[in-house]
Structure 1
């Protein structure tokens, strides 16, 4: 973009070298992400994953850490996720000894991050990359470059409407860059606050998940800012979207649920998002609805497209998953000004009763299954369990949602 580049000359380098003001700050204490920020002059050579910076001896952090490495992805202790993320080596350099491999420096800052890990799963797309990227880039109001490691063209295409709201520049595939890129300000890594959400206090109360929801609606051209727009206030029936799953944690009696909800006064839609779904079209379907319901899983991530004050109903399967479900989707829903209802199924509503007697440890002591590790929990409660809703019991949850919606008529 015009005005973003400064020509690098020997005089310019000498001025920077004499200024002795390079500022390097890193936060390596977070349980989820490492984050480093370098101001004044930094050069990154993408294909080799080496970032050089001008190192004055007065910087106390640099005196203790002359060079260090990090993986720019918010799952720092997840070995499986990070096995797909290339390490960035951050090293000091003297301009007198090692001239930069670029002729211009970008004034606008750059953020280095990876789309490796578990991307491709919608929940991880948002909690691991898109929301942390929003947190990190939002203060720059589009005046920031994105340098992406392990860049997946299909992923970039899918989320380009959002990415174009966050950066005004071309997105750079870091692994294909053969020349040096110089910036006056580089951030390596993404800031992570909590699962699929933002802690406003950590932003100085400058932005929150409400702002993220607004930018999502703007990105995908969604008309409804809140449920009073084109909704039940004008006589239309409230729209209930059931997120359907076919392979795991599926509803075995969805027709009964549809009939019951219709009798209560809902217009019911059943959709199953998948990798072939066109995100913009699915986002518009979600945004047209007043209530979204589904069993705990990545499909509930679509709550980011709902209008404000809509209702999210999460059906929690057996397995002691209540706290996890609240953390993954309940708190994010509340942070987006959505009404959140959590329906914890009974033993009778789980298809595990077809596999185990009711006095089995699977029902009596889920914690003993969880103590065996994530693989055991996943296999027992997430992969091999479906849900047969007690339509009478569940109807009270849908009635509670209706009561909330009628408050906005």
Structure 2
């Protein structure tokens, strides 16, 4: 709304300059805030020794190879923070650039820049992308408007060391420094980073694929994806999903240094609520699962069980390096005695593995990225997460327990006790690692002790009870 007091107190030029300065001040506040969204223990990375080729070739079901991946800051697992909702951020950081005539009448909006935080902006108007300087320029016809700018890191998790930053700036159309468009596009665009923790299977879905669905759903396949920190192996790996999200080829925007791509609408960064969750009813994880079924031609939409139909199918996600279920064979023997058909849980081809998971009624796994494959389960299937000993419970439920409901899955968890952990054979019974795990709260300790050094051997009698509960959920609830 137009404020007449504001109009009378300043000249038109002063008002333009005041508005631009105020925009930068608001966005600077958002950017200068410390990171709110901390990292998940599923191999989250800022510092990693892995080569790109090694990351690209990792097994889909085993994330043990990411044992040396650590976040930059110490993290207390009991204080795992989330980004505030889009609505909450929008109230603090959103702004729209408009102009007013001398008599205080609002003119037609020429462009708009709405930034929810330092990881996401939506821009409408004359948008020009100068890859050479990693700058997104918004050309304005407002006379005497002061140039304003901000920096965006187009990845959901803040403060990562492997995400290229982009500058968003406004510039008058008659400014000689404004680059000339070499390619005009009529379709909307979305610029996002393939950096960050890409290569960890959980983060591939939680940080990129599902947020891409959330961010582009309203414009559906019309949108063109512009990728910074481009990785061709990652596109090859998830091409069937990406082809469902856009009909255009994904542009490696960092290499377009000889071109100036121009759009009328650009989103930079990805919408993100919580791990594999959304606060809105549409789009949702359910719509994303429908998209995945279409992408991989998965046959089963939901589990339909009748007591007269034998052999529900069960898969245990295989792990090779850390958090290994060392008595897996005994667990499978019990499962077979209970009436389960056991499905092999090892694969290197995503399409075939998605089909195998979709054929199952129950998916079992020790906490780790392999449990991300629950996205391929049919509705009403059961997920059993085995939670290692130590202060891992909060992370485990955040990553897989909470999202299960949004996927229309039933969730059970099995908490490892001291005597079921390999740590009980490595440390004396009175050692604080066993007696007082709450003393080991920062990330390096949680990672190196409770995630990277621990294997588990479940109590067969106690775990049989979990399998019986899973059967009950399948047949009677």
Bin the TM-score by the shorter chain.
0.7 to 0.9
Tell me, yes or no, if structure 1 residue 96 matches structure 2 residue 174: yes
| 1:182 alignment counterpart | 262
| 1:225 alignment counterpart | 301
What SS does the corresponding residue of 1:164 show, helix, strand or coil?
Answer: helix
What SS does the corresponding residue of 2:325 show, helix, strand or coil?
Answer: coil
Alignment partner for residue 398 of structure 2, among 295, 317, 327? Answer: 327
* Higher alpha-carbon deviation: 296-305 or 127-136: 127-136
What SS does the corresponding residue of 2:212 show, helix, strand or coil?
Answer: helix
1:216-365 map, 5 Å? 216-228=292-304, 235-273=309-347, 277-365=348-436
Structure 1 residue 104 displacement after superposition: 4.5
Structure 1 residue 43 displacement after superposition: 0.6
1:147-186 map, 5 Å? 147-178=226-257, 179-186=259-266
Equivalents in 1 of 2:141, 2:367: separation in Å? 51
Tell me, yes or no, if structure 1 residue 375 matches structure 2 residue 440: no
Residue deviations 1:105-152, cap 9 Å, x none? 322211110010111110010111111111101111211110001111
Say if 1:317 and 1:235 are closer, same or farther in 2 by CA, change over 3 A.
same
Residue deviations 1:152-205, cap 9 Å, x none? 1110011111111111111101111120100000111111100122222xxxx3
Equivalents in 2 of 1:374, 1:260: separation in Å? 36
Tell me, yes or no, if structure 1 residue 115 matches structure 2 residue 197: no
Structure 1 residue 359 displacement after superposition: 2.3
Equivalents in 2 of 1:375, 1:235: separation in Å? 48
Equivalents in 2 of 1:344, 1:105: separation in Å? 56
Say if 1:73 and 1:183 are closer, same or farther in 2 by CA, change over 3 A.
same
Say if 1:34 and 1:57 are closer, same or farther in 2 by CA, change over 3 A.
farther
Structure 1 residue 388 displacement after superposition: 0.4
Tell me, yes or no, if structure 1 residue 215 matches structure 2 residue 291: yes
Tell me, yes or no, if structure 1 residue 49 matches structure 2 residue 134: yes
Equivalents in 1 of 2:414, 2:361: separation in Å? 18
| 1:191 alignment counterpart | 271
What SS does the corresponding residue of 2:344 show, helix, strand or coil?
Answer: strand
Residue deviations 1:359-400, cap 9 Å, x none? 221122212111xx2111101000100010111100011001
Tell me, yes or no, if structure 1 residue 71 matches structure 2 residue 153: yes
Tell me, yes or no, if structure 1 residue 405 matches structure 2 residue 474: yes
| 1:124 alignment counterpart | 203
Residue deviations 1:233-278, cap 9 Å, x none? 77341110000111000011111111111101111123235xxx11
Runs (4+) of structure 1 moved beyond 3 Å? 55-58, 231-234
1:387-398 map, 5 Å? 387-398=456-467
Equivalents in 1 of 2:282, 2:278: separation in Å? 11
Say if 1:107 and 1:19 are closer, same or farther in 2 by CA, change over 3 A.
farther
| 1:385 alignment counterpart | 454
What SS does the corresponding residue of 2:221 show, helix, strand or coil?
Answer: coil
* Higher alpha-carbon deviation: 351-360 or 379-388: 351-360
Equivalents in 1 of 2:142, 2:452: separation in Å? 55
| 1:85 alignment counterpart | 163
- The count of aligned residue pairs is 369
Structure-2-length-normalised TM-score: 0.74
Contact 1:47/1:174 (<8 A) preserved? no
Contact 2:187/2:223 (<8 A) preserved? yes
Which structure is higher in RCO with an 8 Å CA cutoff and minimum separation 6? 2
Structure 1 residue 20 displacement after superposition: 5.3
Equivalents in 2 of 1:101, 1:399: separation in Å? 67
Structure 2 unaligned runs (5+)? 1-106
What SS does the corresponding residue of 1:240 show, helix, strand or coil?
Answer: strand
Say if 1:366 and 1:297 are closer, same or farther in 2 by CA, change over 3 A.
same
Structure 1 residue 301 displacement after superposition: 0.3
Structure 1 unaligned runs (5+)? 1-17
Structure-1-length-normalised TM-score: 0.86
